[in-house]
Chain A
């Protein structure tokens, strides 16, 4: 069965360190997204990609970067981790093409604690 996986599922790091969160999907979806979830804020979009070599900034992109070298993977990098980036991170994917009805399917999430 097609799926979307994230690793690690839990991560503890120190402020100032670079951290990379992995996202891998086997849906063969063109569109991939990263969100963060914080209490009282719901989910907020960090970055997204429409396909290989394409990346775009979302609502809360400062301090984060992504790269898309193949269809299956969209790693999220925290360049210099800050305590404000302690959060739960979700990766999602959807099929490509136009239309607002493309359902996004989510990975299980990564809990990141920055000390």
Chain B
């Protein structure tokens, strides 16, 4: 079973609208972290936001916020007031605590291709 599921392969959104990118995850580990990365057409991976499984509040970073619903195992990324420069691939990723103490690699979803239209 996939550990990270991103159900929206592609999205078209009008500029200045808010965007929600879906991410659901699967883990039995009580300690885990959820990350979102942006990959523009130039190819680099840019860290956006992080949410820990024990965090009481949803994470926010500027125009980015994470709608964390633990019981539903979802960690949706919300981008407020979208801009043309937000057009990119967006990846949700998870790191589980496990026996490695948090130093193991990330498990990524397959990504959502977001296109912002003027």
Given contacts A99-B101, A100-B33, A101-B52, contact A108 B106 (CB under 8 A): no
B43 partner, pick from A50, A101, A109, beta carbons under 8 A: A109
- How far in angstroms is the closest Cβ of chain A from B35? 7
Q: Does B45 contact A (CB under 8 A)?
A: yes
Interface centre among A92, A96, A100 (most CB of B within 10 A): A100
List the one stretch of A16-24, A34-42, A67-75, A76-84 in contact with chain B: A34-42
Cα of A98 to Cα of B37 in the assembled complex, Å: 22
Given contacts A48-B104, A100-B95, A108-B43, contact A42 B50 (CB under 8 A): no
Given contacts A41-B110, A100-B53, contact A31 B103 (CB under 8 A): yes
B33 partner, pick from A40, A41, A90, A101, beta carbons under 8 A: A101
A58 partner, pick from B35, B46, B97, B105, beta carbons under 8 A: B105
B107 — nearest CB in chain A belongs to which residue? Answer: A45
Number of residues in A with C-beta < 8 Å to the partner?
A: 31
The answer to whether B43 touches A88 (Cβ under 8 A) is yes
For B43, the chain A residues whose CB sits under 8 A away are 88, 108-109
The answer to whether B52 touches A100 (Cβ under 8 A) is yes
For A44, the chain B residues whose CB sits under 8 A away are 108
The answer to whether B47 touches A105 (Cβ under 8 A) is yes
The answer to whether B108 touches A43 (Cβ under 8 A) is yes
User: 8 Å CB contacts to A: which residues of B86-107?
Assistant: 91, 93, 95-97, 101-107
The answer to whether B45 touches A40 (Cβ under 8 A) is no
For A48, the chain B residues whose CB sits under 8 A away are 103-105
- How far in angstroms is the closest Cβ of chain A from B90? 11
13 contacts between A and B (CB under 8 A): A40-B110, A42-B110, A48-B105, A50-B103, A94-B103, A99-B102, A100-B32, A100-B97, A100-B102, A103-B35, A106-B46, A106-B47, A109-B44
